[in-house]
């Protein structure tokens, strides 16, 4: 279980006044060695923004120095008010303290061992009152526990700091003896120090968990067809045979991956649902007679395969244009991922749900999901850039500029470390945004990807990004431009480009703008008579869907993009389209008519012409199946 610290302002104030030069280097090494993290809420930033390291040369600002070690998470104001009401107005701590208590509770529910660091005894008593599932300790004990985890030199320095802070805590508590019962607080401070050692009962429990983990690992290997020790198989009894059908799920997903693309998403979805139902029924029948403990082992062992299948069904649903069904499957995937010994599974599920929240313009929900995914990424050492940049964009649109800037600053340090990897991540983010019809957001991200590609001299990437930016520009409407106002200024802080690379980048963007302007003009030629589709769209040169506009009568206008033609609308009065932005369109042996768009359609969708297809059945919608299957398969 990962151990994390939620730290209040008073701790930073103590550290600022007493910590010696070199404290941050010790702190960083200890946290890395323990795979631990420091969490705060934005309110803490406000309370310590003027605090300085008093004993350091030049007395630098504490927040600026320590910012990179902090994970800042926003807590909704409504949650703070609800907790304050539950505790009672007189007993309730201040809003910033309440936000820290809520954050601590959330992290505990995510599976972390959480300690709230504060010398405010009220946070301990109220936290216990409403059962928030974290422990508390004063700053001095926090520093003592860090010392216990360090090497010889770190222990000496941290213990010295801990003693000085403890003396200050005692003096302050005693000075308030006339205002409240100081004895309870002093007892808590001493008890928190004594409880630093792990109890024998907890060690015994840990051994039991290790044995259970070995059984689950053995059962997973058995499902995969790998060799398992006979002693482990004997302990598992009939579970390997009962659980073996889930192997069919991963085999099915692998076959989808090998196909490369699919022209019938409905068939792929129906076949996957049928197989999943069959596997759940067979394993359910086998597990029903068994006891609760064995069934729990089985569910945890099968959860990886079930998570991957639900994720794939969520992606299939999204590619079919059914975002509600996609959200259901991805929510199930997230729920199942909590049983998987793989934090990355939860991270990926939350990221996909965050994208769906963006598509629904639920900015606060999207930001919370991306921030949760970022916390998981830090736990496993995964690349945080994609989560951070989307969280920053969502917070900006939602009006939280301080947190948006904090996320952007963290993302900027990641970009500067590896421009090539940043290009890859930002390109994927831009592609994901195009797939949920958010071209305005995609443009801003892809601009940054283009900068990084230019600096790292990735010519093949630059060509692909130029085409993606052209597609995004033709897909963007005037309404979207207004919605994302100010985002460019925020993201300008993500990467700094100068010199020859800057000139090359500006040249490329100018060329894209010129081509966008050229492709925004009406088509030179339209015709009312049926003509071969190849007269407009060459064979083997598919269109890319950028938007699907369906009216109340079920009639569909597909807004598509072609490299040479630009934005074209396909009129499908019968509806029934199962596709999404990013899918490819191919028109097989059928004739078409081409008409100029009305002024209204041109203003709304930025299209150059409208195509009517004589035989709608000749249209194929092609989805890339490598985007359906979870990356861990």
**Secondary structure letter of residue 134 according to DSSP:** -
pLDDT beyond 70 at 480: no
- At 586, the pLDDT band (50, 70, 90 cuts) reads confident
Q: What pLDDT was estimated at residue 187?
A: 58
Task: Judge whether residue 343 has pLDDT over 90.
Answer: no
Query: CA distances (Å), 161 to each of 3, 34, 83, 155, 325, in order?
Result: 22, 20, 34, 10, 55
For residue 535, pLDDT over 90 is answered with no
Residue 160 has pLDDT above 60, yes or no: yes
Confidence of residue 463 (pLDDT cuts 50, 70, 90): confident
Residue 208: predicted pLDDT: 44
- In terms of CATH architecture, what is 354-518? Alpha Horseshoe (1.25)
* Confidence bin at 384 (pLDDT 50/70/90): very high
Residue 161 in this model has a pLDDT that exceeds 70: yes
Residue 204 has pLDDT above 60, yes or no: no
Task: Write down the pLDDT at residue 203.
Answer: 37
pTM: 0.65
pLDDT, position 200: 31
Domain range list for the chain: 3-197, 205-341, 354-518, 527-627
Residue 373 has pLDDT above 70, yes or no: yes
- Average pLDDT of every residue of the chain: 82
How far apart are the C-alpha atoms of 581 and 548, rounded to whole Å? 7
* Residue 61 DSSP class: B
pLDDT at site 262: 57
Looking at residue 205, its pLDDT comes to 41
- pLDDT tens-digit map of 403-416: 899 899 989 989 99
Is residue 481 scored above 70 in pLDDT? no
Average pLDDT in the 144-172 region?
A: 85
Instruction: Encode 415-450: b = buried (16+ Cβ within 10 Å), e = exposed.
Output: beeebeebbbbbbebbbbbbbbbbbbbbbbbbbbbb
Contact 622, 584 (CB under 8 A): yes
Query: Residue 363: pLDDT above 90?
Result: yes
Quote the CA–CA distance of 217 and 340 in Å, as a whole number: 11
pLDDT of 424-457, one tens digit each? 999 999 988 988 888 889 999 999 999 999 988 8
What is the three-class DSSP state of 540? Answer: coil
Strand, helix or coil at 377? helix
Question: Are the C-beta atoms of 461 and 421 separated by less than 8 Å?
Answer: no
In 3D space, the residue among 14, 6, 2 whose CA is nearest the CA of residue 98 turns out to be 6
Class of domain 3-197: alpha beta
Helix (H, G, I), strand (E, B) or coil at 273: helix
pLDDT, tens digit (0-9, with 9 covering 90-100), for 603-630: 778 788 888 888 888 888 887 665 665 5
Percentage with pLDDT > 70 across the chain: 86
> What pLDDT does residue 516 have?
79
Tokens of 305: 């395969």
Angle ∠(478,483,485) on CA atoms, nearest 5: 95
The three-class DSSP label of residue 559 is strand
Q: What pLDDT was estimated at residue 347?
A: 87
Mean pLDDT, range 460-472, rounded to an integer: 87
Residue 209 in this model has a pLDDT that exceeds 60: no
Helix H segments across 133-199? 139-149, 152-175, 182-194
Helix and strand totals (H; E) in the chain: 28, 14
* pLDDT at residue 20 in the model: 92
Cα–Cα–Cα angle for 374, 49, 126, rounded to 5 degrees: 70
Calpha distance 385→278 (Å, rounded): 39
Instruction: Dump pLDDT digits (tens) for 256-305.
Output: 776 655 567 788 889 999 999 999 999 999 988 887 788 888 998 999 89
Q: What is the DSSP string of 71-94?
A: EE----HHHHHHHHHHH-TTT---
Q: Rounded mean pLDDT of 8-12?
A: 92
By CB atoms closer than 10 A (0-12, 13-18, 19+), residue 80 is: buried
Q: How large is the average pLDDT for residues 346-353?
A: 87
The CATH class that applies to domain 527-627 reads mainly beta
Give the whole-angstrom CA distance, residue 550 versus residue 431. 23
For residues 312 and 325, is the Cβ–Cβ distance under 8 A? Answer: no
Is the distance from CB of 578 to CB of 622 less than 8 angstroms? no
pLDDT: which is higher, 395 or 470? 395
DSSP result, 584-633: EEEE-S-EEEEEPPPHHHHHHH--SEEEEES-GGGEEEEEEGGGTS-TT-
DSSP state of 245: G
Confidence band of 394 (pLDDT split at 50, 70, 90): very high
Q: Please report, to the nearest 10 degrees, the dihedral formed by the alpha carbons of residues 604, 607, 612, 613 taken in order.
A: -120
pLDDT of 214 > 80? The answer is yes
| pLDDT tens track for 21-71 | 999 999 999 998 888 889 999 999 999 999 999 999 999 999 999 998 999
Cα separation of the two ends of the chain: 25
Report the range of poorest mean pLDDT among 335-344, 348-357, 502-511. 335-344
Fill in the DSSP letter of residue 52. B
Tokens of 621: 């919608």
Q: What is the pLDDT of residues 70-113, one digit of tens each?
A: 999 888 888 888 887 877 655 556 788 889 988 988 888 776 78
């Amino acid at each position: 279980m990962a151990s994390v610290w939620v730290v209040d302002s008073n701790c930073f104030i103590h550290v600022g006044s007493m910590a010696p030069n070199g404290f941050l280097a010790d702190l960083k090494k200890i946290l890395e060695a323990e795979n631990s993290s420091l969490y705060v809420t934005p309110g803490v930033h406000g309370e310590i923004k003027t605090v300085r390291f008093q004993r350091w040369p030049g007395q630098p600002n504490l927040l600026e120095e320590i910012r990179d070690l902090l994970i800042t998470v926003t807590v909704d104001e409504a949650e703070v008010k609800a907790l304050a009401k539950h505790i009672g107005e007189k007993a309730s701590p201040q809003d910033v303290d309440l936000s820290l208590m809520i954050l601590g509770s959330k992290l505990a529910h995510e599976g972390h061992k959480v300690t709230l660091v504060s010398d405010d005894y009220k946070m301990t008593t109220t936290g216990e009152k409403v059962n928030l599932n974290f422990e508390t300790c004063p700053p001095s004990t926090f520093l003592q526990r860090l010392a216990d985890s360090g090497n010889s030199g770190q222990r000496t320095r941290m213990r010295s700091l801990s003693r000085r802070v403890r003396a200050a805590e005692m003096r302050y508590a005693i000075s308030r003896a006339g205002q409240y019962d100081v004895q309870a607080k002093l007892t808590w401070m001493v008890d928190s120090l004594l409880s630093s050692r792990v109890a024998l009962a907890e060690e015994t429990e840990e051994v039991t968990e290790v044995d259970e983990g070995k059984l689950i690992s053995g059962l997973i290997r058995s499902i995969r067809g790998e060799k398992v020790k006979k002693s482990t198989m004997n302990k598992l009894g009939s579970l390997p045979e009962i659980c073996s059908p889930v192997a069919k799920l991963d085999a099915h997903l692998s076959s989808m991956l090998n196909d490369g693309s699919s022209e019938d998403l409905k068939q792929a979805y129906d076949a996957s649902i049928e197989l999943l139902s069959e596997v759940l029924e067979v394993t359910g029948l086998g597990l029903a007679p068994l006891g609760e403990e064995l069934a729990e082992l089985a569910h945890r062992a099968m959860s990886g395969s079930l998570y991957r299948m639900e994720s794939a069904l969520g992606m299939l649903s999204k590619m079919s244009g059914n975002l509600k069904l996609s959200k259901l499957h991805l929510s199930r995937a997230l729920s199942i991922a909590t049983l998987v010994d793989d934090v990355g599974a939860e991270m990926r599920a939350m990221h996909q749900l965050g994208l769906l929240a963006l598509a629904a313009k639920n900015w606060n929900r999207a930001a919370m999901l991306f921030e949760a995914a970022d916390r998981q990424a830090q736990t496993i050492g995964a690349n945080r850039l994609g989560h951070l940049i989307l969280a920053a964009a969502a917070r900006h649109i939602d009006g939280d500029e301080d947190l948006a800037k904090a996320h952007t600053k963290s993302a900027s340090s990641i970009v500067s470390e590896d421009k090539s990897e940043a290009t890859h991540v930002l390109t994927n983010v831009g592609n994901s945004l195009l797939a949920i019809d958010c071209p305005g957001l995609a443009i801003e991200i892809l601009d940054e990807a283009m900068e990084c590609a230019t600096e790292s001299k990735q010519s093949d990437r630059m060509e692909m990004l130029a085409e993606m930016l052209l597609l995004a520009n033709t897909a963007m409407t005037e309404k979207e431009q207004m919605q994302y106002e100010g985002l460019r200024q925020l993201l300008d802080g993500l990467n700094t480009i100068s010199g020859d690379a800057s000139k090359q980048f500006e040249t490329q963007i100018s060329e894209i703008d010129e081509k966008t302007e050229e492709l925004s003009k009406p088509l030179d030629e339209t015709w009312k008579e049926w003509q071969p589709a190849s007269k407009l769209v060459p064979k083997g040169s598919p269109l890319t869907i950028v938007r699907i506009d369906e009216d109340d009568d079920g009639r569909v206008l597909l807004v598509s993009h072609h490299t040479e033609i630009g934005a074209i609308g396909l009129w499908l009065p019968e509806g029934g389209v199962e596709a999404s932005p990013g899918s490819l369109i191919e028109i097989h042996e059928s004739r078409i008519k081409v008409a100029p768009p009305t002024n209204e359609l041109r203003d709304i969708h930025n299209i150059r012409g409208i195509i009517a297809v004589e035989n709608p059945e000749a249209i194929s919608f092609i989805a890339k199946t490598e985007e359906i299957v979870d990356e861990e398969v």
